[in-house]
């Protein structure tokens, strides 16, 4: 992958990417706790799976995430999702462990606290969640982003970060790369992701 490919893709898709980011920012403005929790559950479901499957699954299970028992959540997940027991448990636990007040923390602490509180959520999905509800300046270092950075010669390899320090290190590398390209950091994430997938999802 060449730098010119990234710049061209950004130029050709800038409007749709900016519109998608604006859609995300509307969620935090509405400050609807159910809507925010739904996005958290979506990110629990996309960990190790595709965004398409996450969208399909969260739509299918519906309101059971808000008031269902663990058994009811698992039962609905089982109809469409492979890891129904594990992720059903994570969603059930998240309902008790997630506090919307965590979103008032400073930038770094906000993500750290979500990782600490929510079982099944690491730094990638915590970043995914925060981006999807409208927070800025978090890198979602999934395989597509890492592959792009490796192919562009920005990273020596495409291995996922194994700990917090490595995640922050790669995130800073991506931030510097965005400055070199002259592309907004949050837009660059969607540029690289859509370069690999052909889609601008969430």
The residues annotated as belonging to the active site are 124, 142
Alpha helices by DSSP H, the chain = 3-30, 33-46, 51-61, 64-67, 70-78, 84-97, 107-117, 123-132, 143-151, 164-181, 185-197
What distance in Å separates the CA atoms of residue 169 and residue 21, rounded to the nearest whole number? Answer: 24
Measure the CA angle with vertex 14, ends 10 and 17; round to 5°: 105
Burial of 139 (0-12, 13-18, 19+ CB in 10 A): buried
What distance in Å separates the CA atoms of residue 58 and residue 11, rounded to the nearest whole number? Answer: 32
What distance in Å separates the CA atoms of residue 35 and residue 14, rounded to the nearest whole number? Answer: 26
What distance in Å separates the CA atoms of residue 136 and residue 67, rounded to the nearest whole number? Answer: 30
The three-class DSSP label of residue 89 is helix
What distance in Å separates the CA atoms of residue 168 and residue 103, rounded to the nearest whole number? Answer: 19
């Amino acid at each position: 992958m060449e730098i010119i490919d990234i710049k061209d893709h950004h130029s050709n898709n800038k409007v749709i990417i900016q519109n998608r980011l604006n859609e995300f920012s509307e969620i935090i403005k509405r400050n609807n706790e159910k809507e925010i929790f739904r996005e958290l559950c979506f990110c629990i479901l996309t960990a190790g799976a595709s965004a398409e499957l996450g969208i399909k699954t969260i739509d299918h299970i519906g309101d059971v995430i808000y008031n269902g028992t663990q058994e009811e959540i698992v039962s609905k997940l089982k109809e469409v999702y492979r890891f129904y027991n594990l992720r059903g448990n994570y969603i059930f636990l998240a309902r008790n462990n997630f506090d919307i007040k965590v979103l008032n923390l400073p930038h770094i602490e906000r993500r750290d606290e979500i990782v600490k509180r929510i079982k099944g959520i690491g730094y990638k999905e915590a970043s995914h969640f925060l981006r999807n509800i409208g927070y800025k300046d978090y890198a979602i270092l999934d395989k597509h982003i890492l592959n792009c950075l490796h192919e562009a010669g920005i990273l020596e390899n495409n291995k996922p970060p194994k700990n917090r320090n490595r995640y922050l290190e790669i995130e800073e590398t991506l931030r510097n790369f965005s400055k070199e390209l002259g592309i907004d950091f949050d837009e660059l994430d969607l540029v690289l992701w859509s370069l690999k997938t052909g889609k601008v999802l969430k």
